[in-house]
Amino acid sequence: MTETIKPFHLAVQDSVLEDLRERLSKARWPDRETVADTSQGPQFAKIQALCEHWRNQYDWRACEALLNSLGQHTATIDGQELYFLHVRSPEPDACRC
């Protein structure tokens, strides 16, 4: 097994974020649910509100900065590339079993 751990810095291109906003603006919506609960899945209005939030309000750059401040890494284990955060617990006994 070969393991390689490398630091990772997230940097999403503006064109990728613009493409996401464009695709969200073109969402094809299904008919509204026929029940008042979530037995048929998420409520239509909540999904539309989430989509609208991602299109117009979500601050991806703030999220990117936060993730980059936490110590992101990639590791290749058995040929699979994994992404992970290495964040130490503020609790002094957190790693004791």
pLDDT of residue 19: 97
Task: Report domain extents, the chain.
Answer: 3-26+42-85
Q: Is the per-residue pLDDT at 24 higher than 90?
A: yes
What average pLDDT score do residues 23-30 get? 94
**Overall pTM > 0.75:** no
What average pLDDT score do residues 2-7 get? 79
The full DSSP string for 47-96 is HHHHHHHHHHT--HHHHHHHHHHS-EEEEEETTEEEEEE----SSTTTT-
pLDDT of residue 97: 61
Q: What is the DSSP letter of 31?
A: P
What confidence tens digit (pLDDT) does each residue in 57-86 have? 999 999 999 999 998 999 998 889 999 998
